[in-house]
């Protein structure tokens, strides 16, 4: 199932490592767009017209929490039957995620395609309705917000998408793309101030003023991603969820966008949730990293710690699989090759969801009890019954009989 979606995206022949669920992303954009466009500007908020940092400024790196996600679940019903549609089961896309994001930090979310990263990001922003759980944003429980209050809260949480071309309306000029969100949130306070703000926005993402009257197709991929970033910044958000922000871009251009994101964060005090399948990208940009497997977090640690001492068997395998552009490192890289296919999120394994592929799986607990994500010290969290034993070398790796999964199962 996951590999199928990946292949569909590749049909666009972008020659990049971007292999994510484009279809799902497009849905999100339309929702976001309709939300912004359909709203009549209820100008309760006052536009400052400046690019100054939001209220979170100055707290960078502290323990001040901006977002708390508790036991978040997003289950998609599987419909069968044409005339009499019935629910034949659920895709457990996100199935019990707990995490916190501190003000001013970058939280990186990694995992292979289909593990639920995008759905988690969209659920957090309520672009998709969570099946269960709670989302607290800056001390407000946003999971229960409705209508106008929900709409207003969205100003502070914005999203950047993988494919800038499909997330930007081709018929809208850059000016109208940027003004749309500002208007929806009552931030366009007169022609001159708005104009100044637009120029400032473009400047902050490294585009010239002349870009305002151009259309998305007139730009290169990297420039389009800059427009997407400017659109997010236009409403002065606190949190930006960036879903695969560089995976559709050429390698030589990825660094431009990564550097821009970092620079904007420092200048504006932004908080980021960066979602990516590329571990090197996530490791580079994130303060803390969460690793997802089949709808839940299996490990969470600081970026450097995750690299230096991965504890969950899946994280170990994932890190060991990443090629490094250095032959000396490559010649010595010890790989933990996984066997078999990724199980379907519609039919996840019992107990530890990784047990069907885990080279450290034990006869007790693994296939019966679902391990909790627990703190093993210093904020390093792991969901594995045997994390300490594996770390201490008390149990060792063994062969795994590969299990295949029917992609449509």
Ligand X SMILES: Nc1ncnc2c1ncn2[C@@H]1O[C@H](COP(=O)(O)OP(=O)(O)O)[C@@H](O)[C@H]1O
Region from 195-203, 252-260, 334-342, 349-357 binding ligand SF4, contact rule CB under 6 A: 349-357
Site stretch for ligand X (CB under 6 A), options 112-120, 192-200, 227-235, 355-363: 112-120
Report 106-145 residues binding Mg ion (CB under 5 A). 117-118
CB 397 within 8 A of CB 379: no
- Find which of other proteins, ligand X, ligand SF4, none residue 136 binds, CB within 5 to 8 Å per kind: none
For other proteins, give the closer residue by CB, 78 or 329. Answer: 329
Instruction: Name which of 165 and 258 has its Cβ closer to other proteins.
Output: 258
Using CB under 6 A as the binding rule, whether residue 20 contacts ligand X is answered as: yes
Q: How far is the CB of 116 from ligand X (least distance, A)?
A: 4
Long-range contact list for 253-259, CB < 8 A, 24+ apart? 253/220, 253/221, 253/222, 254/281, 256/222, 257/222, 257/225, 257/226, 257/229, 258/284, 258/285
Residue with tokens 């229960």: 144
Query: Is residue 303 a contact point for other proteins (CB under 8 A)?
Result: yes
Query: Which of positions 337-356 make contact with ligand X (CB under 6 A)?
Result: 345
Phi/psi for 298 (5° steps) reads: -105, -20
Q: Could you tell me the smallest distance in angstroms from the CB atom of residue 218 to other proteins? A: 11
Return the ∠ at Cα 122 (arms to 163 and 311), rounded to 5°: 95
Indicate the residue among 238 and 243 with the shorter CB distance to ligand X: 243
402 binds, among other proteins, Mg ion, ligand X, none (CB under 5 to 8 A by kind): other proteins
What is the distance of C-alpha 168 from the center of its chain? Answer: 19
Work out how close the CB of 348 gets to ligand SF4 at its nearest, in angstroms, rounded to a whole number: 13
Nearer to other proteins, 235 or 338 (CB): 338
Among 5, 9, 20, 316, binds Mg ion (CB under 5 A): 20
Q: Going by DSSP bridges, is the β-strand pair 157-160/374-375 parallel, antiparallel, or unpaired?
A: unpaired
288-317 residues near ligand X, rule: CB under 6 A: none
What is the rounded CA–CA span in Å between residue 83 and residue 85? 6
Distance of closest approach, residue 8 Cβ to ligand X, in angstroms:
11
Is 115 one of the binding residues for ligand SF4 (CB under 6 A)? no
Shortest separation between residue 98's beta carbon and ligand SF4, angstroms: 17
Nearest Cα neighbor of 111 from 393, 240, 300, 264 is 300
Q: How many helices (H) and strands (E) does the chain have?
A: 14, 12
According to the binding rule CB under 6 A, does residue 361 interact with ligand SF4? Answer: yes
**With binding defined as CB under 6 A, does residue 384 bind ligand SF4?**
yes
Does the footprint of ligand X cover residue 111 (CB under 6 A)? yes
113 binds ligand X (CB under 6 A): yes
Is residue 252 a contact point for other proteins (CB under 8 A)? yes
Based on the number of CB atoms within 10 Å of its own CB, is 258 exposed (0-12), middle (13-18) or buried (19 or more)? Answer: middle
**Whole-number Cα distances in Å, 66 to 69, 100, 141, 292:** 10, 8, 12, 21
- The CB-of-229 to ligand X minimum distance in angstroms stands at 20
d(CA 19, CA 283): 19
Q: How far is the CB of 291 from other proteins (least distance, A)?
A: 12
CB of 308 to other proteins, least distance (A): 10
Among 43, 324, 372, 375, binds other proteins (CB under 8 A): 324
β partners of residue 97: 72
Identified binder of other proteins from the candidate list 71, 322, 350, 368, rule CB under 8 A: 322
Own/partner contacts of 170-174, CB < 8 Å, gap of 24 or more, are 170/215, 170/216, 170/217, 171/215, 172/215, 172/216, 173/212, 173/213, 173/214, 173/215, 174/202, 174/207, 174/211, 174/212, 174/213, 174/214, 174/215, 174/216, 174/227, 174/230
Contacts with ligand SF4, residue ranges (CB under 6 A):
312-313, 352, 354-355, 358, 360-362, 366, 371, 384-386
């Amino acid at each position: 199932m996951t590999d199928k979606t990946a292949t569909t995206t590749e049909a666009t022949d972008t020659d990049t490592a971007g292999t994510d669920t484009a279809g799902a992303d497009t849905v999100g954009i339309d929702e976001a767009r309709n939300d912004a466009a359909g709203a009549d500007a209820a100008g309760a908020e006052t536009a400052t017209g400046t690019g100054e940092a939001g209220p979170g400024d100055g707290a960078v790196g502290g323990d001040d929490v901006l977002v708390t996600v508790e036991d978040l679940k997003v289950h998609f019903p599987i419909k069968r039957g044409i005339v009499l549609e019935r629910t034949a089961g659920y895709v457990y896309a996100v199935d019990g995620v707990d995490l916190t994001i501190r003000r001013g930090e970058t939280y990186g979310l990694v995992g292979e395609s289909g593990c639920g990263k995008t759905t988690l990001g969209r659920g957090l922003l309520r672009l998709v309705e969570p099946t269960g759980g709670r989302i607290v944003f800056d001390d407000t429980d946003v999971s229960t917000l409705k209508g106008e209050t929900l709409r207003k809260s969205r100003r502070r949480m914005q999203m950047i998408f993988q494919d800038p071309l499909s997330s930007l309306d081709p018929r809208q000029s850059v000016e109208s793309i940027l003004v749309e969100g500002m208007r929806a949130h009552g931030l366009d306070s007169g022609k001159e101030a708005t104009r100044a703000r637009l120029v400032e926005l473009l400047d902050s993402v490294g585009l010239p003023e002349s870009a305002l009257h151009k259309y998305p197709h007139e730009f290169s991929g990297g420039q389009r991603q800059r427009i997407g970033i400017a659109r997010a910044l236009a409403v002065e958000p606190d949190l930006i969820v960036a879903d695969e922000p560089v995976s559709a871009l050429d390698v030589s251009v990825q660094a431009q966008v990564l550097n821009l994101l970092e620079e904007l964060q420092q200048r504006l005090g932004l908080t980021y949730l960066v979602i990516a399948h590329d571990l090197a990208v996530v490791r580079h940009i994130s303060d803390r990293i969460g690793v997802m497997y089949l709808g839940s977090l299996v490990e969470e640690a600081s970026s450097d710690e995750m690299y230096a001492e991965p504890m969950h068997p899946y994280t170990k395998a994932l890190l060991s699989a990443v090629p490094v552009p250095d032959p000396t490192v490559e010649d010595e890289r010890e790989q933990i090759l996984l066997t078999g296919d990724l199980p379907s999120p519609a039919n996840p394994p019992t107990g530890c969801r990784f047990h069907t592929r885990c080279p450290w799986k034990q006869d007790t607990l693994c296939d019966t009890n679902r391990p909790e994500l627990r703190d093993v010290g210093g904020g390093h969290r792991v969901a594995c019954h045997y994390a300490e034993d594996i770390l201490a070398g008390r149990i060792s790796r063994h062969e795994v009989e590969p299990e295949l999964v029917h992609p449509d199962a």
